[in-house]
Amino acid sequence: MNLEAVGKLVVHHSGSPAETQKRIARSEAEQIIVRRMVNWVTWGMIVLGIGVAMLVVNKYFDVGRWFQLVSGCFLLGGTGIAAAGVLNSIRQGVNISGMRSTPAELPNHEPKSLPTKPFPEALPSVTERTTRLIEEPNAKDQ
């Protein structure tokens, strides 16, 4: 069963209409971001695959050092394209979630002063508590 329609009904009937429209717009923006990320990663993997294929061809047919250099560039380029797509989508996701704050929105915290005593007072020994638990034998018990 496709429950997408049920999810949309629940979204439409919960909260005010303005909040519902915000949630729908945010959901659509998230879908666009994910779609773009998948496209970037796909293109990155294609370029990376071309680089791997070029390395294999150069290994068996020894085309030359320039071919090896070009295949290395394809490998790095494909990795960079995929990483750029992922990082860009993370950045866009943070922007739409509202987690990003400008310096004007950050609270103004004054730096705390350093303590006057740089070292804490001596801590009790680990065995101090356990030795207190051992009771001395009474004269009656003997």
CB proximity list for 72: less than 8 A, separation 6 or greater? 51, 55
Residue 37 CA neighbour count, 13 Å, CB half = 15
Assess contact for 74 and 44: CB atoms under 8 A: no
Confidence (pLDDT) at 111: 64
Q: Is the CB of residue 40 less than 8 Å from the CB of residue 86?
A: yes
Helix residue spans in the chain (DSSP H): 4-13, 17-61, 65-97, 126-133
pLDDT in tens, the chain (142 residues): 677 777 767 666 666 667 777 777 888 889 999 999 999 999 999 999 999 999 999 999 988 899 999 999 999 999 999 999 999 999 998 888 775 555 555 556 566 676 677 666 777 677 766 666 666 666 555 5
pLDDT score of 139: 55
- The pLDDT of residue 39: 97
pLDDT score recorded for residue 32? 93
User: Tell me, what's the pLDDT at 3?
Assistant: 74
Q: What is the largest CA-CA distance in the chain?
A: 98
Domain map (residue ranges) of the chain: 7-99
Q: Specify the pLDDT at position 62.
A: 86
